[in-house]
Amino acid sequence: MQLPSWLKIFNRRKPARPPSLTDCPKCGRQMDMIDKSTMSGDDMRTYRCEHCREEHIVNYGIALWKVLSDANKSDDDAS
pLDDT in tens, 43-58: 999 999 999 999 999 9
Q: How far is the C-alpha of 23 from the C-alpha of 18, rounded, in Å? A: 10
Strands (E), 1-79: 32-37, 42-49, 54-62
With 0.75 as the threshold, say if the pTM is over it: no
3-state DSSP assignment of residue 37: strand
pLDDT in tens, 6-40: 877 777 777 777 878 899 989 989 999 999 998 88
Mean of the per-residue pLDDT values for the chain? Answer: 86
CB atoms within 10 A of CB 47: 19
Domain limits, the chain: 20-71
Report angle CA 37, 35, 55 to the nearest 5 degrees: 120
Q: Tell me the CATH number for domain 20-71.
A: 2.20.25
pLDDT value, residue 1? 67
